[in-house]
Amino acid sequence: MLREILEALDPQPGQIIVDGTLGGGGHTRALAERVGKDGLVISLDRDPGAIERAEKALHGLPIILAHSNFSELQEVLDEIKCGKVDGMMLDLGLSSDQLADQERGFSFNSDGPLDLRFNPDEGKPAHHLVNTMKEANLADLIFEYGEERFSRRIARKICEIRRDHPIRTASELAEIVRRCVPHSPRETIDRATRTFQALRIAVNGELQALEKILREIPYCVKPGGKVAILSFHSLEDRLVKDAFREKKCYRTVNKKPILADTEEIARNPRSRSAKLRIAEIVEE
């Protein structure tokens, strides 16, 4: 939803804009072209691969890259001696590069390790949770973070199989989950999606990071600056909606989320679940 994000932030020459989720670099590039040589885009990502690729692909543009979680934005601004910025965006979805990496486990068909970490050097991989958590705790995690109503059935089957051998790959876990979740013709997503979402959120501390940045954005963005956040599931969207509605430092720009149009969905089917919310920072 590049067009909608650019319209929301309306970056001007000479401004400083933050892209808290570099990913494949498409948003960062477009923002840098808008702010021009007198402006700056500060782009963060937890994934070292994203930083490495962007160093080559975006060379020569007015960009500072930071290998950091977006929840550490204030520390990044302090380190580069930058005050409040003019605007900020977050795209909370997975990048195409992450999905294509067979060694990360983001793709259900991957025979590589079930890892799911954005930064492979932080925390423990998802297969550790799958093979060590108590059945009740695993079921609760899948239900809470994945909103999966068959979570207890899934956890029971996982524990049954891991007694025979550890579950190591994304494809193996996906097949286990599919056997536990009944097929519904109304569903447009893979039956393993919610379980993988839950594990990914857990190993990366995604909701905690989002809660932290929502508290700190007003200290990083100037009054009058816009914040655009693109989320891909209801847990994220609920946190963003509640923060924009309840915190006095935010003024909601769009009461209802902006959704991808049919052209965008045809080009990128993952965008069908995207919700874009925009707020303006106001002085309390």
pLDDT tens sequence across 182-238: 988 887 789 999 999 999 999 999 999 999 999 999 999 999 999 999 999 999 999
- CB-based contact 271:1 (threshold 8 Å): yes
What is the rounded average pLDDT of the residues 21-27? Answer: 94
State the CATH architecture for 2-91+206-281: 3-Layer(aba) Sandwich (3.40)
Rounded-to-integer distance, Cα 206 and Cα 236, Å:
9
pLDDT for the residue 50: 94
| 2-91+206-281 and 101-204, same CATH topology | no
HSE, side-chain direction, 13 A CA sphere, residue 140? 5
Strand partners, 63: 41
What is the rounded average pLDDT of the residues 89-109? Answer: 86
pLDDT-based confidence at residue 256 (cuts at 50, 70, 90): very high
What is the rounded average pLDDT of the residues 234-252? Answer: 95
- CB-based contact 85:16 (threshold 8 Å): yes
Strand partners, 66: 44
pLDDT for the residue 112: 86
Closest CA to 44 of 11, 1, 90: 90
DSSP state of 183: -
Average pLDDT over the chain, rounded to an integer: 94
Name the percent of the chain lying above pLDDT 70: 100
Closest CA to 65 of 50, 75, 78: 50
pLDDT-based confidence at residue 103 (cuts at 50, 70, 90): confident
pLDDT value at 270 more than 80: no
pLDDT for the residue 183: 86
Write out the CATH class of domain 101-204: mainly alpha
pLDDT for the residue 268: 79
- CB-based contact 219:189 (threshold 8 Å): no
Rounded-to-integer distance, Cα 105 and Cα 2, Å:
27
H or E element, residue 227: strand 221-231
pLDDT tens sequence across 145-194: 999 999 999 999 999 999 999 999 999 999 999 999 998 888 778 999 99
pLDDT-based confidence at residue 284 (cuts at 50, 70, 90): low
Please report, for the chain, the start and end positions of each structural domain, with discontinuous segments joined by +.
Answer: 2-91+206-281, 101-204
